[in-house]
Amino acid sequence: MHNENSPFTLRRSSRVPAIMPILVTRLDETRFSQVCETLVVNAHGCAILSRVKLDAGVPLQFHSQDGRETTAQVVSCQPMRSDKRNWVLGARLNRPENFWGLQNFPEDWTLSLTSALAKVPQLAATPVKRSLPGSGLPSQGSEITLQLSEESVRKMIVQ
């Protein structure tokens, strides 16, 4: 049986190399913020470059340059091999999403988001299909393409 730390564990969503600044704020009793830079991102989290070591489990809030916010938790923090003054911090988003605002992202991100939405009773019966990138047309074999914005999902959850 494979556990979460097993080298055979499959990723829930593909990693994408992406360097972008994000404001990282601790949400525990030791409140502070720092601007960090992402190294890789996916629908479930990221690896970022940090000047400060943070312990696993520390709750975080991320703020993007264009105003998006989300929450996450530290899952690992390792010293940089080439630069002992910086840390590579692994963080897991509290809910899978394209927080990073990427226009082109792997198809498994959509599958991950769909499976997360299925856990919400109001959304479980709503079919979500992926359109062919840039075409606005449904992918082969699908009859209806339904795109849910984050705002509409929040409204449904509140209701």
Q: How far is residue 138's CA from residue 115's CA, in Å, rounded to a whole number?
A: 19
Number of domains the chain is built from: 2
**pLDDT greater at residue 83 or residue 113:** 83
Q: How far is residue 132's CA from residue 136's CA, in Å, rounded to a whole number?
A: 6
* Residues 6/45, Cβ–Cβ less than 8 Å: no
| Whether 21 and 74 share a structural domain | yes
pLDDT digits (tens, 9 = 90+) for 42-100: 999 999 999 999 999 999 999 999 999 999 999 999 998 888 789 999 999 999 888 99
| Whether 86 and 127 share a structural domain | no
Residues spanned by the domain of 42: 16-93
Q: What predicted TM-score, i.e. pTM, was given to this entire model?
A: 0.64
- Say if 130 falls within a structural domain: yes
Q: How far is residue 89's CA from residue 37's CA, in Å, rounded to a whole number?
A: 10
- Say if 43 falls within a structural domain: yes
Say if residue 141's pLDDT is above 80: no
